[in-house]
Amino acid sequence: MKISVLPLVAGSLLLACAASDTDEPSDVPESFVDGTNNIATVEDRGTECSIPDMENYLNLDEHPLLPDPFLGMGGERITTKAEWACRRAEISAQVQEYELGPKPPAPESVSAALSDDALTITVEDGGTSISFDATVQLPETGTGPFPIMITLGQGTSLDTNGTISNLGVAMVALNHDDIAAQQNGSSRGQGKFYELYPGHEAGAMMAWAWGTSRLIDALEDAPELNLDPTRVGVTGCSRNGKGALVIGAFDERIALTLPQESGAGGSSLWRMSDVHQQAWLDAGMVPEYGAVQTLQQIVMENVWFRDSFRQFSTTATRLPFDHHMVMGLVAPRAMFILNNTDQWWLDRQGSHFGATTAHEVWDALGIPSNMGTSQNGGHPHCSGVPQSELDQVAAFVAKFLVGGGTESTDVLFTDGNFPDVRDEWIEWDVPALE
């Protein structure tokens, strides 16, 4: 997709990009071979991979334990780093088929008008046009082009006292609720995305991922904006933390993904949530709205997932994946997952175990420092993050977004003192991919 930059009016720019008929998917990049953090120049590097047909729900096998991320759909385990590219594409296809809905390809054209700090993205496809907004806050230090941290909603507690922006990062707040609504279970099909694609099967989170990709399209090759689209991060908390994970998982141009307290549909595991909730039920200790959010509850609460995902309400074990594999879609790029030990609703044990299990993908690729997770209690949901964790956020931003950071990103921490349950949930080992 090529972008041209044209003058609009004083203080504004117009960016226009249209898909080229000669655009071809790139070859599998060296990052999958040598284990570096090279960021893709295309949205999805898996388009050249051959994906087997998806099984009907009724034909799916039961997987009581966590599925093996390294076992291909054809029954063979991958053995090389290069093979991760197409194994990742298989997982991506399964997640879209059963949970999130399909992500539409790049549209016919994208344009953006920037005036002061307001950025309006206009997308045209199939004779229909929509527009949505983002707010740009440039850092007070540096001269640019600035790396970018996209936030879902206005601001983030991870930038407390300038943790991120003081490193010379531009903060871009995306109005994602305008792209796809998330008020409640009756919000399905509402928002600009569904105006462009009426009746589309994607849930709200995949619609946000599509919209974020269009934002990146509009920023590419536009130095006049003084923003660097080759250094993009994304973050959000709670429901927006779920969204940040999905966005990072489904656009390989994103260098750093920072999901915060994302829980069900984020860093927790569907299978483990069901088991933990049942333990509360058996003990007769469940509060009115439950101690742990499960798949059965969340599909009724909101429209973050495709509508057909509700068929797994009591059969999460039929899913050929779980969220350790959704998080693994980000590899080999960088990710730092933040959780809160005080949040029982987010399945605090499952959230930490999900993140540490996902880390095994980066282990297999030989780049364990590219992914970390930290879980601290003693603060409210989505606020009051301890300074020690903010320092870890700064280390990831400096190393993987700004560049040149030297602080350690080897972080696999919880203050929850949880038992080691790997042997109870996992039957596969971590391969040393060649």
Active-site residue numbers?
238, 381
Closest CA to 91 of 384, 361, 339: 361
Helices 239-249 + 204-219 axis angle, to 10:
60
At 43, phi and psi to the nearest 5?
A: -65, -40
Percentage helix, strand, coil, to 5, in the chain?
A: 35, 20, 45
With beta carbons less than 8 A apart as the criterion, state whether 330 and 249 touch. yes
Q: Phi and psi at residue 196, in whole multiples of 5°? A: -75, -35
Task: Provide the token pair at 20.
Answer: 């080229």
Q: Which residues are paired to 148 by β-bridges?
A: 170, 232
User: Measuring CA to CA, which residue among 393, 387, 264 is closest to residue 336?
Assistant: 393
Residues 6+ apart with CB under 8 A from 419: none
Only one residue has tokens 């003990």, namely 283
CB of 257 within 8 A of CB of 335?
Answer: yes
What gap in Å lies between CA 119 and CA 128, rounded to an integer?
20
Please give the Cα distance from 301 to 176 (Å, whole number).
18
* CB 323 within 8 Å of CB 249: no
How many CB atoms within 10 Å of residue 92? 22
Q: How many CA atoms lie within 13 A of 301 on its CB side?
A: 11
What number of other Cβ atoms are within 10 A of residue 382's Cβ? Answer: 20
Instruction: Find, among 54, 50, 52, the residue nearest to 25 by Cα.
Output: 50
Q: Looking at residue 224, what DSSP letter applies?
A: G
Pairwise CA distance, residues 385 & 158, whole Å: 7
Alpha carbon 162 to chain centroid, angstroms: 23
Phi-psi region of 209 (alpha: psi -120 to 50; beta: other; left: phi over 0): alpha
- What are 41's strand-pairing partners? none
